[in-house]
Structure 1
Amino acid sequence: MALSGFQQKLQSVAGKISSNRYLKAISDGLMSALPALIIGAFSTLLSGMQFEAYQNFITSTGIKEILELPAQYTTNMIAVYAVFFIAYRFAGSFDKDGAPAGLIALMSFFVLTPTGLLGENDAIALPFQFLGAQGLFVAIIVGLISSRLYVFIVDKGFTIKMPDGVPPTVAKTFTGLVPGILIVVLFTIVSFLFRMTEFVSMHQFVYSFIQTPMQNLGGGFWSLIAMTLVIHTLWLLGIHGMLVILPIYLSIWMPLGVENLDAIAAGQELPNIVNTAFAQVFMLLGGSGATLGLAIIMAFMAKSKRYKTLGRISLPGTIFGINEPLIFGLPIVLNPYLAIPFVVAPLVAVIIPYFLMASGIIGKLAGAHLPLGTPAFFNAILQGGVVILIVQVLMIIVTGLIYYPFFRVIDKQALKEEEAA
Structure 2
Amino acid sequence: MAGAMDGVIGFLEKHLMPVAGRIGNQKHVQAIRDGIIVTMPLTIIGSVFLIIGNFPIPAYTKWLAETGIAEKLGYPVTASFGLMGVIACIGIAYRLSEKYNVDALTGAVLSLCTFVLVTPYNIPFLQDGKEIGTVGGIAFSFLDSGGLFVGLIMSIFTVEIYRIIVQKDIIIKMPDGVPPAVAKSFAALIPGMIILTVVWIIRLGLMYTPFEDMHNIVRVILVGPLTKIGGTYWGALVVTLLIHLLWMTGIHGAALIMGIISPVTYKLMAENNAAYMAGARGTELPHVVTTQFFDIFQSMGGSGSTFSLAIILFLFSKSKQLKEIGKLAVGPAFFNINEPILFGLPIVMNPLMLIPFVLSPVVVITITYWSMKLGLVSRLAGIAIPWTTPPVLGGALATASISGGVIQVISMVLTFFIYYPFFKIMDAQKLKEEQAAVSA
Q: What is the TM-score of this pair, normalised by structure 2? A: 0.89
Hey, what does 1:374 align to over in structure 2? 389
Pick closer, same or farther for the CA change 1:101–1:43 going to 2, 3 Å: same
Give the Cα–Cα distance (whole angstroms) in 2 for the partners of residues 91 and 18 of structure 1.
17
How far is 1:53 from its partner?
2.7
**Per-residue deviation, 1:248:** 5.2
Q: Is the 8 A contact 2:378 2:401 kept in 1?
A: no
Shift of 1:16: 0.8
Write the mapping of 1:70-85 to structure 2, written as runs, cut at 5 A. Answer: 70-85=76-91
Written as runs of structure 1 = structure 2, the 5 A alignment for 1:200-349 is: 200-246=212-258, 249-268=261-280, 269-349=284-364
Match of 2:427 in 1: 411
Give 1:121 shift: 9.5
Deviation at 1:107, TM superposition (A): 0.9
Per-residue CA deviations over 1:264-301 (Å, capped at 9, x if unaligned) read 33333333322223223321212221111122222222
Distance 1:56 1:136, change over 3 A: same
Counterpart position of 2:185: 173
One-letter amino acid of the structure 2 residue matched with residue 334 of structure 1? M
d(CA) in 2 for partners of 1:305, 1:341? 22
Aligned length: 421
> Would the aligned equivalents of 1:281 and 1:392 in 2 still touch at CA under 8 Å?
no
What is the rounded CA distance, in whole Å, between the counterparts of 1:75 and 1:248 in structure 2?
19
1:65 aligns to 2:71 (yes or no): yes
Select the residue among 367, 380, 387 that pairs with 1:352.
Answer: 367
Change (3 A) 1:411 1:145: farther
**Residue 89 of structure 1: how far off its partner (Å):** 0.6
Q: 2:7 aligns with which of 2, 20, 27?
A: 2
Which whole-Å CA distance do the structure 2 matches of 1:121 and 1:215 have between them?
29
Q: Distance in 2 between matches of 1:166 and 1:250?
A: 56
How far apart are 1:247 and its partner, in Å?
5.3
Q: Which amino acid aligns with 1:405?
A: P
Corresponding position of 2:107: 101
Match of 1:309, SS state, is helix
Root mean square deviation, CA, Å = 2.2
Following the alignment from structure 1 to structure 2, what is the Cα–Cα distance between the partners of residues 147 and 102? 8
Residue in 2 aligned with 1:388? 404
Amino acid at match of 1:266: A
Counterpart for residue 379 of structure 2: 364
Work out whether residues 41 and 325 of structure 1, in 8 Å CA contact, stay in contact via their aligned partners in 2.
Answer: no
CA contact (8 A) 2:377 2:407 kept: no
Distance of 1:113 and 1:7 partners within structure 2 = 42
Q: Secondary structure at the match of 2:136?
A: strand
Does the 8 Å CA contact 1:40/1:74 hold for their aligned counterparts? yes
- Alpha-carbon offset, residue 123 of structure 1: 4.6
Structure 1 contact 137–237 (Cα < 8 Å) conserved = no
1:23-49: CA deviation from partner (whole Å, max 9, x where unpaired): 011001111221122112212222222
Which stretch shows the higher mean deviation, 98-107 or 163-172?
A: 163-172
| TM-aligned CA deviation for residue 245 of structure 1 | 3.1
Shift of 1:197: 1.4
- Report the Cα distance in structure 1 between the residues aligned to 2:107 and 2:260, rounded to whole angstroms: 38
CA distance change for structure 1 residues 196 and 417 in 2, over 3 Å: closer, same or farther?
farther
1:222-273 CA-to-partner distances (Å, cap 9, x unmatched) read: 2222222222223223333233333553333333333333333333333332
- CA drift at 1:348: 0.2
Q: What is the Cα deviation at residue 102 of structure 1? A: 0.8
Deviates more, 1:130-139 or 1:374-383: 374-383
Q: Which amino acid aligns with 2:436?
A: A
State, as a whole percentage, how many aligned pairs show the same letter: 38
Alpha-carbon distance between aligned partners in 2 of 1:112 and 1:236, rounded to the nearest angstrom:
25
Find out whether 1:140 has 2:140 as its counterpart: no
Q: Distance in 2 between matches of 1:405 and 1:106?
A: 40
Residue 48, structure 1, aligned to residue 57, structure 2: no
How big is each residue's C-alpha offset from its partner over 1:298-319, in whole Å with a ceiling of 9 and x where there is no partner? 2222233333223322332232
1:24 match: 30
Residue pair 1:277, 1:365 contacting (<8 A) in 2 also: yes
**TM-score, structure 1 as length reference:** 0.92
Instruction: Give the corresponding residue for 1:163.
Output: 175
Work out the CA distance in 2 between the residues paired with 1:94 and 1:233.
27
Q: Is the 8 A contact 2:32 2:250 kept in 1?
A: no
Matched AA of 1:311: G
User: In structure 1, how many angstroms separate the alpha carbons of the residues matched to 2:192 and 2:417?
Assistant: 48
